[in-house]
Amino acid sequence: MFLVIIVFLLIFSFVILAHEFGHFMVAKRSGVRIEEFGIGYPPRIWGKKIRGVTYSVNWIPFGGFVKIYGENSDEEALKDSDSFGAKPPRIKAGILLAGIGANLLAAIILFYFLLGFHNFQTFQGQFFDYRFPFGQQTDYPMISEILDGSPAQEAGLNEFDVVIAGNGEYFSNSDELINFIDQNRGKEIALRLTNAHHPSERVVKLVPRVNPPENSGAIGVMLGDVSRLSYEGIPNQALSGILHTLNLSHFTFSALGYLIKISIVERNIQPLSASFSGPVGILAFTKLSMAGGAWQLFYFIAAISLGLAVINILPIPAADGGRLVFVIYEAIFKKRAPARVERAVNAFGMFLLLALFLVITVKDIIQFKDILF
């Protein structure tokens, strides 16, 4: 578990530092004063001032930060030409979007190399009816869990096995596979499989039980649905990192809209809240990704970097997207929003984010306790 925590801290630090470095570079090139660029969070271990910028290493090993002069709408700072607040809206927007851009760039680069090493194809889990806008998509059922003592375990099936066909019959979702298994209880079936983490095909034979134990199923597995995304042809492969990033971004926003709709229809926040994870959830997924090998771990890093970009582009107070709203207001109305209003909104947003962080942390501890402890 110690190694998992170390890898988790490295992943989290990488994606946050990439984000902050994006802000740092664009702010510096735009003539905005940088007060400090820190690795980790205070209290400080070491710091050195170089060309007016304090570079620091801090005790809390959890990402990092960049402190930009005038970013908190300080009235005094607005009088200085090198402050963030004194710059025109286009420069402010560029600085705010730079962190998002850095995370997107990191995801694009990682996805490009990962897809290249896997013949420009990958698997993506599905939980609602969805078509990706780019690439070739083929849907399959996938085994998510294998029960002890089941025919599936005895036959050598593995978690994340993707079921392509059974007795030559192809499946596009778990319902089709379940119907096939039920129709062949007591008879030997041959399942053609690949694996989402180790894509090499094999055939496994087993006999579904006629009278399985309660809540166990005929072959003793839990099923989900997955899509295989393939980027075929030189143009698609040359742009695969960008196309895959766009695919996952579109999927994320579509899934968010779907979960909001379900929560409203059912008048229950649980479908939406269960889909969000904080540091504890990311720690659990880090452990699972490490078990899947280096490819899965680096794919997870790319997904986390993309997720941070998506969260920050949303108009959430205190996040980059929320601050961008005030910049857009300034660009449209040719005047700044009152500084006290901006500070109050960001402070309130930070309070809500901290409260949400605590709620999600408790939820993650309950949800992932069997994985982590």
- Convert the pLDDT of each residue in 245-299 to its tens digit: 999 999 999 999 998 898 888 888 777 777 778 888 888 989 888 888 888 899 9
Q: Give start and end residues of each alpha helix (H) in 74-222.
A: 89-117, 151-155, 174-183
> Residue written as tokens 């294998």?
146
Q: Tell me if 54 is assigned to some domain.
A: no
44, 57 contact by CB (below 8 A): yes
Q: Tell me if 331 is assigned to some domain.
A: yes
Q: In this predicted structure, what is the pLDDT of residue 75?
A: 66
CA 93 to chain centroid: 24
Specify whether 115 is located in the same domain as 141. no
What is the share, in percent, of the chain residues with pLDDT greater than 70?
98
Beta-carbon contacts of 191 under 8 Å, excluding residues fewer than 6 positions away, are: 157, 163, 165, 166, 203, 204, 205, 206
Q: In this predicted structure, what is the pLDDT of residue 215?
A: 81
Specify whether 340 is located in the same domain as 239. yes
Q: Is the pLDDT of residue 239 over 90?
A: yes
Last residue of a domain, one of 230, 246, 261: 230
> Residue written as tokens 């030559």?
168
Specify whether 319 is located in the same domain as 255. yes
Show the tokens assigned to 152: 């599936």
Pairing of the two strands 136-146 and 34-50: unpaired
Q: In this predicted structure, what is the pLDDT of residue 77?
A: 65
Reference 30, options 93, 105, 106; nearest CA is 93
Specify whether 207 is located in the same domain as 345. no
Beta-ladder partners of 51 = none
161, 183 contact by CB (below 8 A): no
Q: Tell me if 19 is assigned to some domain.
A: no
Last residue of a domain, one of 230, 263, 279: 230
Specify whether 287 is located in the same domain as 339. yes
DSSP assignment, residue 163? E
Q: Which domain does 167 fall in, by range?
A: 136-230
Q: Tell me if 296 is assigned to some domain.
A: yes
Query: Which is higher by pLDDT, 183 or 357?
Result: 183
Last residue of a domain, one of 180, 209, 230: 230
Q: Tell me if 82 is assigned to some domain.
A: no
Specify whether 218 is located in the same domain as 255. no
Query: Which is higher by pLDDT, 77 or 304?
Result: 304
Q: Is the pLDDT of residue 332 over 80?
A: yes
Q: Tell me if 147 is assigned to some domain.
A: yes
Specify whether 341 is located in the same domain as 240. yes
Give the mean pLDDT of the chain.
91
Q: In this predicted structure, what is the pLDDT of residue 358?
A: 86
93, 321 contact by CB (below 8 A): no
Pick from 7-21, 105-119, 258-272: least confident: 258-272
191, 152 contact by CB (below 8 A): no
Specify whether 222 is located in the same domain as 362. no
Pairing of the two strands 169-170 and 189-195: unpaired
346, 318 contact by CB (below 8 A): yes
Reference 92, options 370, 311, 331; nearest CA is 331
Instruction: Please give the Cα distance from 286 to 296 (Å, whole number).
Output: 10
Instruction: Please give the Cα distance from 248 to 113 (Å, whole number).
Output: 16
CATH of the domain at 212: 2.30.42.10
pLDDT digits (tens, 9 = 90+) for 40-71: 999 999 999 999 999 999 999 888 999 999 88
What is the share, in percent, of the chain residues with pLDDT greater than 90?
66
Specify whether 287 is located in the same domain as 161. no
Count of structural domains, the chain: 2
Q: In this predicted structure, what is the pLDDT of residue 73?
A: 66
Q: Is the pLDDT of residue 91 over 90?
A: yes
3-state secondary structure of 47: strand
Q: Tell me if 42 is assigned to some domain.
A: no
Reference 146, options 165, 133, 134, 163; nearest CA is 163
Beta-carbon contacts of 178 under 8 Å, excluding residues fewer than 6 positions away, are: 223
| pTM score | 0.90
Instruction: Please give the Cα distance from 285 to 349 (Å, whole number).
Output: 27
> Residue written as tokens 């809390």?
60
Specify whether 166 is located in the same domain as 237. no
Q: Tell me if 17 is assigned to some domain.
A: no
Instruction: Please give the Cα distance from 278 to 363 (Å, whole number).
Output: 9
Q: Is the pLDDT of residue 180 over 80?
A: yes
Q: Is the pLDDT of residue 372 over 80?
A: no
Specify whether 237 is located in the same domain as 222. no
Query: What is the phi/psi pair of residue 62, to 5°?
Result: -140, 75
> Residue written as tokens 């720690």?
283
Query: How confident is residue 74, by pLDDT bands cut at 50, 70 and 90?
Result: low
Q: Is the pLDDT of residue 16 over 90?
A: yes
Specify whether 329 is located in the same domain as 258. yes
Pairing of the two strands 189-195 and 161-166: antiparallel
